[in-house]
Structures are given as C-alpha cells and as structure tokens.
A and B are shown apart, each in its own frame.
Chain A
C-alpha cells in the first residue's frame, strides 16, 4: 500500500508569492498533522485535523498560514505572501486513530525555499 505522499517535493518561491502544499495521507487515516522543520532542527507542530475538522492550529506561525482538509482525506497547507523565514521542509503525517499512542506515518516532506 502507498504511504503518505506530498507534492511538490521542492518549491522555490519569490518573496511575496503564495504557495500551496499538498498532502495525501494513507487512506482511512483519521488524523492528519502538519509540521515545519527548519534546517538542522527537529520538526515543529503546525496544525492537526481529525477527519475534516481542524482541532488544533496553535502552531501556525502567523495568519499567512492556512490549512484545510475539506473531505477528510487530502490536505492543503497554504502560505500567503511568503517570507524568507518560511523557508523550511513541511512535513505531513497521518495516523489511523485519534489517540496519543498511535503511530504517525510521515511523508517525505516539501522543501520550500523563499528567495
């Protein structure tokens, strides 16, 4: 079976452009997470969906960041008016259940470079 996929794998944006990053979780997984990983750092939580409901967006760094999962499967992370500090790898993860001890399956990430 397929794992978590993300597209594009690499994105270069000019400062001020809007970008959209896509995540295809494992089919049937209830939970979906977005994380941001700066160079040399561990991933940092951005937001969490349980099916189509966004239950936690406490990690989104500014109102330029917006995420959605309208049908409870595919998710999109949108960054408006990108800034250089947005350059990072954006990781998506999904898990079958919405419980604390459930394994998260990560995608390969999208590397965003803002010039």
Chain B
C-alpha cells in the first residue's frame, strides 16, 4: 500500500472550514484514498473515499489532485465535535484491509 504523509496536528476555529492535507506520492492507479476519523475513546469512523474525482457527502468533501499524489479533506463548517484524529489511508487489498498511519490531530477551538 502507498505511504501517506499528514501533518501531526492542526487547529481550526469553530464554524470555519477545516482543510486537512495528505500526501500520497506513491499511489498507484487502482488505489483508493480513504479518510477515517477517531474521536477520543471511540472506534474509527468512516468519512469519505475517492479514486480520481472529487467527492462530497454529508460530512465532508474530498479533493484529489489531478496527478493523485495528494488530497485534501474539507470539513466545511467545523464544530467542537469534529475534534478528533483524522487518518488518510491509501490502497487496501481486494477486501479492504486498512493501513493506518499516525494521522492528524484536529483541534477545533470555540
């Protein structure tokens, strides 16, 4: 699976957009980009995934660069409940094994 690089921590003001970057320069053509988050003392929670095109759901938007070497997760209006560790994951086996890195600790401030 391709390796991902994320900043260890980020801050965001409540109500503002949170933009979380991820580098995955060794991604191969058939590998997906997944984002999960983990709120303290809970299991990880799926947010969104994409292959080539930008994706949007009720939680977030995923912007993937044309060369697919990086992506950005956007939380459009961050709330205090969005404070969590955000994991960018690339690849996965045919059945979907996830290889987590260290993730980005996002802290949303009042």
How far, in Å, is A103 (CB) from chain B's closest CB?
Answer: 4
> Cβ of A18 < 8 Å from any Cβ of B?
no
Assembly CA distance A50 to B94 (angstroms): 12
Contact of A100 among B43, B92, B100, B101 (CB under 8 A): B92
Q: What are 9 A-B interface contacts by the 8 Å CB criterion?
A: A42-B101, A42-B103, A43-B98, A50-B95, A56-B93, A93-B43, A99-B95, A108-B42, A109-B43
Interface size class of B (residues with CB under 8 A): 20 to 34
Chain A residues whose C-beta falls within 8 Å of the C-beta of B87 in the assembled complex: 42
Contact of B96 among A31, A42, A108 (CB under 8 A): A31
> Cβ of A41 < 8 Å from any Cβ of B?
yes
Among residues of A, the one whose C-beta sits closest to the C-beta of B103 is A42
Among residues of A, the one whose C-beta sits closest to the C-beta of B43 is A106
Among residues of B, the one whose C-beta sits closest to the C-beta of A41 is B102
Restricting to B13-59, which residues have a CB under 8 Å from any CB of A? Answer: 32, 36, 41-46, 49, 51
> Cβ of B97 < 8 Å from any Cβ of A?
yes
A contacts, CB < 8 Å to B: 4, 31, 33, 35, 41-45, 48, 50, 55-56, 91, 93, 95, 98-109
Chain A residues whose C-beta falls within 8 Å of the C-beta of B92 in the assembled complex: 100
Among residues of B, the one whose C-beta sits closest to the C-beta of A45 is B97
How far, in Å, is B2 (CB) from chain A's closest CB?
Answer: 13
Known A41-B102, A42-B102, A91-B44; contact A98-B97, beta-carbon cutoff 8 A: no
> Cβ of B5 < 8 Å from any Cβ of A?
no
